[in-house]
Structure 1
Amino acid sequence: MPSLSGRILTSSTYAMASSAVPPSRPIRIANCSGALTDPGILMYNQAKYGPVDVITGDYLAEVSMAGSAMQRASNGAGWIRSALEGIQLSLDLINEKRIKVILNGGAMNPKGLAEKIHEMVHSRGYKLRVGYVEGDDLMHKVHHLLSKPLPHLDSANPDVRYDKDTTSFLDSPEEMPVVAASAYLGYRAIKKGLDEGADILICGRVSDASPVIGAAAAWYNWSESDFDRLAGSLIAGHLIECSTYVTGGNFPGASKHPPSDFLRLGPGIAEILPNGECIITKHDSLNGFVTPDTVKCQFVYELQGNIYLNSDVKADVSNIAIVKESKDRVHVSGVKGYPPPPTTKLAIFYRGGYQCEHLLNASGYATDHKWDIQELQLKDTLKEWGILEKFDVLEFQRIGTDMKDPDSQHASTTYMRIFAQSKDKDVLTKMHKAWHYQFMAHFPGMHYSMDTRLLAPKPFLGYYPAIIPQTEIEETVTILGDSLTEQSIRHAVHPPKQTEPLARRENYETANPVPLEKFGPTVNAPLGDLILARSGDKAGNINIGLFVQTPEQWEWFRSFMTKDRLRSLMRKDWKDWYFLERVEFTNIYAVHFVIYGSLGRGVTSSSRLDNLGKGFAEFIRAVHVDIPQRFLEESARSTKLEHL
């Protein structure tokens, strides 16, 4: 198995060979994790069931950093246990095949995890060098940063409004103390570590795609100004960073496959070419499927317009092309790179107060009236007690629709989620008491889980996405000694040498729209009968990308899918204070939107049931619209052919 230089090398000769010997083939990078929930067996499978040069793991959703910070404060760990589990299972294969490993599973303590792995390596008698990347944790200077204006991630757009509590902690940080402040790092320290001979690198909060960029840059010895190549590898990293999302997980076309197609999915692999283009694929012997549709769905996931940002490169994806090469092999091209911004994202989590929730069920007849009774009773009691106005958040969310002429009680049941937040724990305790106070006056047939633990107030973490100058970061990579007693060597990494300011994001309706009646008779049907889509969160915002399959469908869809159309599809969920951005990806027949403000403060502090926006696309696909009949017939024929 070739190492990162394109031939079998020991780690001690790696640094010399990576710059002296041109690679003989593309680098093959396998992902093993998209969240801390991914088990270690995924890393083992990626190492065992086919050739790979590098295994990367992305364990750190934003909420993971906050949880890791609190964990470290309580017991000193602060790294992701499933990352260590993967190394424990895979280390023999990693050593045998000389596979490089780059994980962000270090979370708030990359040094601690690296030292744990270092001990394991030496206990098994292997000659593998372990390193770790630091610099993302800015807790030591967060109060210095907060003493000056700390811009919100979306502050450059004056049309964007925030949820009412988004900036409240900036006014009283002593009342809502910060527990984590993590800057998003790029690829430079990773490449430096590989250049210095590391076989296993443990990172903290590097951006999701940075391990892939760093591996490709080391393999090809790219310079910091190879922006097109870096941008291409950035998108390759984006496409495989979410575990099985590119091989069938979270796939909106799932209903056209038998459920058995989604058992034991293997994560994706990126083969990155010398020019930065990539082939997205998977191991033949692992389950799942890679198609242009699975790749497009992952591409539009968690974008923020046509410019994809990393602290080392900006990727202009306006002209991206995604084309099937062969079975389970999809070629991605058309990405253009530019210098990065002088800033990077800083994710700040702070103690926001307390929250609680209560779930109540209603069955059968006149459900809306029942929920009206429940909401009015609770509000009336809280008002009588003089505390209704003391809640920061108090929402009565009605979830689900009961079946007409139900065939079971479950089919006729919906529930209400009463969600509350307050900085005062006693306020939330009184909500519990107020519900008990009115309990026996409940609406007909009220029932609920006997487990009322959700009603007990519990602390929650507020979230503030900021931007900071990259010059505020002191980034390093440390290579641990070959033996347990040998001194470690730390290397400082400078900020990007070339940057350029961010321009305002593009936002436009389609050029030269076509009259919709041109496409003939229509059928009122779910939008999802024709289009695929994926949505996700970007701080307090939802993004959604939607696409069709043919040039003619695209002519209709780009004209149909306007900003006003999305507002109408959102129906009661649209708020007039939201801000909407729209762009198009013509080569893949996709329209992309960002709905600013729709997740409140976002992540841990969002009151939304779907606080990461993952279900939003499936809601929009379920809404009925008038679709040209011939397109639905085309789609049905295409599905039938796929299953022949």
Structure 2
Amino acid sequence: MAADSTRPVRIAGASGSVSDRRHAVSMFAANCGDDKVDVIVGDWMSEANMTARGVMKIEASSNISTSKSGDTFAFGDAGAAYEPTFIEAIEPALSDIEKHGIKVAVNAGASDTEKLAKVMTDLIKSKSLSLKVAWVSGDEVFPAVQKAHAEKRSKFENVSTGAVLDNWEFTPIYAQAYLGGLGIAAAFAKGADIVVCGRVSDASPVIGAAVWWHGWSRDQIAELANAFVAGHLIECSNYVCGGNFTGFKSLESKGWHDIGYPIAEISRAGQVVITKSKSGGGEVSTQTCSSQLLYEIQGPWYFNSDVTAVLDGLWFEQLGTDRVALRGVRGELPPPTTKVGLTARGGYQAEVHWFLTGLDIQDKARMLEAQIRHALRDWSDKFTKFEFTLNGTAGENASNQNAATVDFRVFVQAREEKDIAAARFLRPNIDGMMQGYPGSTIHLDVRQGFPKPIYEYYVTLLPQADVQHKVHLWDGQEIEISPPPQTKTYPAQQPSEPEATGVASTDFGQTVKGPLGWIVHARSGDKGSNANVGFWVRHRDEWEWLRSLLSVKTIQRLLEDEYRGKKIDRFELPNMYAVHFLLHDHLDRGVSCSSSYDFLGKNVAEYLRSKHVDLPLKFLNRGKL
């Protein structure tokens, strides 16, 4: 299919992670006659499987087996260093993809993109189809990192913590860069139908599709910036259609049992409209778009290898049912560097869970902790993390026993597997049950009590000039993608305002104490060990109240025990009625080795929305969220 740049390209977002439902690719392809899409994009990669697949590749090349404790990742084929769940998603769609001339670009190659391309080629051949597969390389950059480090050209500062690589207590074994979208565009221009990538940025497939479709050049910064933001709006699939949305209760009548998937329409001038598939429930509204946008960003400057988007003037306009226009994005030159994730073996972890019910919960927890510490005293000095957490609240005068029960978690990590082997952790926990607190009960599913490997992830920056970005075609041809000819160096610190200035009014009338979330939407997520959280309201007069309320000091106060003295950045998006915060190093080292229940950072927002503040009664009278 030749691109028709006289009309907007319609790009469908079919997967946001390895945990996504796997029917969307085939749904978009099968319905293309009635619900036209030109390109299907999807992301199957995250920090969790990127680290696991990276270690898997290193171990395979070194003939080192993974831990006998079990597979390194719960999904897919343990022997493949690409993400095999992508095959499950695309296999039933291939005939319709060829029939309708749909292009496909995905992040699914993980640490073996070439192998995934071969598997796809063989699969297509077995179906007697003629689809052409290209693959993108250059994301595997460990040699480049080692060379730059040895030559002392960079300290490789951690973008979350500010630490330097020399002081990292772990030994990196693998590194993967986040590439831009121009390799994908070049592959499509050469006739590729399916482009598989190992690790391009989440938005790069959309950038690549739009560049190819409209024939944009690298200096069309405004158009690239809009495509970049559009990419982040649809790359998490259902999120922009109502998934993970604090207004979820309004979606019950709109089919919340089966939230639909998004489509970005991008014109030749870079104008963006977000809509959704005709099938599936949920909605696309200014509110769901705000939720997804605030989840993704870390400040007013939003960086990609191809472009920088400036967001402080951004807003959304509802054009009609399930149609929202993106407005106010400005483009700047890309930075000279790109994000790189370094992987290291982090050791092992295990945990057990106890159930405490009814009265005296705190005292029961103190007794249990004392007994466990005593039982593990001879080897607990080998633990790198040893935590006891009481999770939940026992309801007072509860109507059933479950409502009066809380979870007590014992969590350990160690560098060596033997130091938390069953005999040194799980067995001593079980042994103490007969001397325990009233109602002493350990969870009988003890599988989490056996050691499993964990991986550390260190996020830093590498010059784009050090990346060998290439496209590999089905006929053996290679296309080199050069780094951007013009870049701009940005300060390490994003613009930040600790509190609002020039508030129109500080008198918002009579107030009542209640949860912030009665009036305020919020969304949060992980960026390495950082947590980003954005808050927004629906009405202009509520915005003045929100921005005057939510200062850095207020967030510190609302976090209470969760605030650990780390830096917090704040900036406002006045056209969205939103305030965004970046909580530096708030999470425990990221998803692949976190001790937190909230390892993805998605519940930071939900916790803060539950905190009580003074709410203007006139806003509450409009109805609670």
* TM-score, structure 1 normalization: 0.89
Matches within 5 A, 1:225-624: 225-258=219-252, 261-383=255-377, 385=378, 387-429=379-421, 430-436=424-430, 438-481=432-475, 488-503=476-491, 504-508=493-497, 509-513=499-503, 516=506, 518-576=507-565, 578-624=566-612
CA contact (8 A) 1:146 1:170 kept: no
Matches within 5 A, 1:136-175: 136-147=139-150, 148=152, 149-154=154-159, 170-171=168-169, 173=171
**Residues 1:5 and 2:3 aligned together:** yes
Cα distance change of structure 1 residues 423 and 408 upon mapping to structure 2, 3 Å threshold: same
The answer to whether the 8 Å contact 1:4/1:53 transfers is no
38, 60, 81: which is aligned to 1:53? 38
* Residue in structure 2 matched with residue 33 of structure 1 by the alignment: 15
Deviations 1:455-494 (CA, angstroms, capped at 9, x unpaired) = 122221111112111122111101103xxxxxx1111111
Query: 5 Å matches for 1:32-181?
Result: 32-49=14-31, 50-72=35-57, 73=60, 77-147=80-150, 148=152, 149-154=154-159, 170-171=168-169, 173=171, 178=173, 180-181=174-175
**CA shift digits 1:154-186 (9 cap, x unpaired):** 27xxxx566xxx96874562xxx52x3111000
Give the fraction of aligned pairs with identical amino acids, expressed as a percent: 36
Report how far residue 145 of structure 1 moved.
4.7
Separation in structure 2 between the aligned mates of residue 146 and residue 428 of structure 1, nearest angstrom: 34
Deviation at residue 437 of structure 1 after TM alignment: 5.0
Aligned to 2:205: 211
Q: Which amino acid aligns with 1:562?
A: S
Aligned-partner Cα distance in 2 for 1:543–1:170: 24
Query: Structure 1 residue 67: deviation in Å?
Result: 2.4
Determine the structure 1 residue equivalent to 2:618: 630
Contact 2:170/2:345 (8 A) holds in 1: no
Distance 1:585 1:131, change over 3 A: same
1:201 Cα deviation (Å)?
0.6
CA distance in 2, matches of 1:591, 1:113: 42
Which residue of the partner structure matches residue 485 of structure 1?
none
d(CA) in 2 for partners of 1:574 and 1:275? 44
SS at match of 2:454: strand
AA partner of residue 45 (structure 1): M
Quote the offset at 1:287 in angstroms. Answer: 2.3
Aligned equivalents of 2:87, 2:51: Cα separation in 1: 19
Cα deviation, residue 39, structure 1: 3.7
What root-mean-square deviation, in Å, do the aligned CA atoms of Structure 1 and Structure 2 show? 2.0
Aligned mates of 1:286, 1:260 — CA distance in 2:
9
- For structure 1, the 5+ residue unaligned runs are 7-22, 482-487, 640-644
Match of 1:197 in 2: 191
TM-score by length of 2: 0.92
Instruction: Tell me whether 48-57 or 34-43 shows the greater mean CA deviation.
Output: 34-43
Distance 1:129 1:340, change over 3 A: same
- Kept after mapping to 2: 8 A contact 1:4/1:100: no
Gaps of 5+ in 2: 66-77
Give per-residue Cα distances to partners, 1:6-37, cap 9 Å, x unaligned: 1xxxxxxxxxxxxxxxx221110001100112
- C-alpha contact (below 8 Å) 2:259/2:282 kept by paired residues: yes
Between the aligned partners of 1:440 and 1:213, the Cα distance in structure 2 is: 61
Answer whether contact 1:40 1:89 (CA < 8 A) is retained. no
1:42-87: per-residue Cα shift (whole Å, max 9, x none)? 1011122210010001111121212223444366522222222222
Which whole-Å CA distance do the structure 2 matches of 1:575 and 1:341 have between them?
Answer: 31
Preserved contact between residue 372 and residue 428 of structure 2 (Cα < 8 Å): yes
Name the CA distance, whole Å, in 2 between partners of 1:294 and 1:4.
Answer: 33
